[in-house]
Chain A
Amino acid sequence: MTDASINASTVREGDAEFGDYFALLKPRVMSLVVFTALVGLLAAPVAVHPVVGFCAILFIAIGGGASGALNMWWDADIDQVMKRTKSRPIPAGKVEPGEALSLGLALSGMSVIMLALATNIFAGAFLAFTIFFYVVIYTMWLKRATPQNIVIGGAAGAFPPVIGWIAATGSMAIEPWLMFALTFMWTPPHFWALALFMRSDYDDAGVPMLTVTHGRPATRKHILIYTILLALLAVGTAFSGVGGPIYLAVAVVLNALFLHGAWKISRRDENDSEADNFKVERSFFKLSLLYLFLHFGAILAEAVLKPYGLGGW
């Protein structure tokens, strides 16, 4: 290849690299999807062949990534305004919006069909519904329309363990929905804490976050209420089919810490937060990441140890 082969009309300033397309799939969100779907798959009471299990997790992850690309295509205008998102491939000018749309649609179709072929049609259909929910219901419809956007959007991120369970069993049960509820109830306090210390981002973009529509004191109260409900659910899950003594110990400790953090946030006002640069809100946000990881990790530990007579009740 030489310089002589370059056609000036085809050269774009930000001609994308492979990594830019990968970034469209929101790899960090995908890692959460992979982990929670894996826990759903392994916690199910049916043994899955490792190759089938690997394919199931891979295609669930690709489906999640595809919905991320479609989200970035639709939200390119607000991503450009927000500090947190303006370096994403589309606002940075590395990838054309049409490319993100094509990639998202192609990967959505591929992941749904392959998951259905690798496991069962129910799992494929549920993955298709999840992509539809995240892209159409949340991104296109509710995100810019209601301050409850994070609550509803949390459902899309909470579906992977249910899909993992269905991929293994081909049927539904109460346990995957408890895992769903755990992520669903965790999402609002997690994002509202972020919205408290990324203060101007959502205002600038015109996204009706609770901090913008109901004010910051109301957001602090909401964080506490959701955390109380989350704690009840998380500890209660210990007594279900996916729980056990390990999970109970983890849940009690983490929820005590999480409740303490939410209580402190609810007692503070803006002056306190400004004074220490949102130290409490930031540490609550960091704890929330560990919170979800360890809860699902404990469910995984119970499932893995069960065949040896150690996990579960």
Chain B
Amino acid sequence: MSLRKEHELHQRRKGRNVGVGVLLASFVVLVLALTIVKVTSAGFKFPNTSSDVQQTEGQN
């Protein structure tokens, strides 16, 4: 009896896992691309950090 024989169920699960893996990887790439587009757009402003707020208060 061979222990190396792959069950059909494993093939189905493998296909499912590969599908989910590809989707997650694509999602990461998409979020990265979206982030690059957003931060390089003309209207982008960094949100106020705590040091910025302190500086503004100091100037006042």
Contacts and interface: CB of A to CB of B under 8 A. Distances in A.
Nearest to A118: B34
Nearest to B17: A18
Interface string A85-120: 000000000000000000000000000000001100
B7 A3 contact: yes
A276 interface: no
B16 A2 contact: no
B27 to A, nearest CB: 9
Nearest to A4: B3
Contacts of B12: 15-17
B39 interface: no
A275 interface: no
Nearest to A10: B9
Contacts of A16: 12, 16
A270 to B, nearest CB: 46
Q: Is the interface of B mostly helix, strand, loop or mixed?
A: helix
Contacts, number: 44
B25 interface: no
Interface string B34-49: 1001000100000000
Given A16-B16, A17-B15, A52 B37 contact: yes
A2 B37 contact: no
Interface residues of B, number: 20
B10 A1 contact: yes
A1 B15 contact: no
Contacts of A49: 37, 41
Interface string B1-25: 0011111011011111011100000
Nearest to A55: B34
A29 B35 CA distance: 30
A55 B32 CA distance: 12
Contacts of A17: 12, 15-16
B24 to A, nearest CB: 12
B6 A2 contact: yes
A15 B9 contact: yes
B33 interface: yes
A2 B3 contact: yes
Given A15-B12, A18-B15, A18-B19, A52 B34 contact: yes
B59 to A, nearest CB: 32
B30 interface: yes
Contacts of A118: 34
Contacts of A2: 3-7
Given A17-B15, A17-B16, A18-B16, A6 B9 contact: yes
Interface string A1-34: 1111110000100011110010000000000000
B22 to A, nearest CB: 9
Contacts of A21: 16
Contacts of A6: 7, 9-10
Contacts of A55: 30, 34
Interface of A: 1-6, 11, 15-18, 21, 49, 51-52, 55, 58, 117-118
Given A3-B7, A55-B34, A58-B30, 9 more contacts: A2-B3, A6-B9, A15-B9, A15-B12, A17-B15, A17-B16, A18-B15, A18-B18, A51-B34
15 contacts: A1-B6, A1-B7, A2-B6, A2-B7, A5-B10, A6-B9, A6-B10, A16-B12, A16-B16, A17-B15, A18-B16, A51-B33, A51-B34, A51-B37, A117-B34
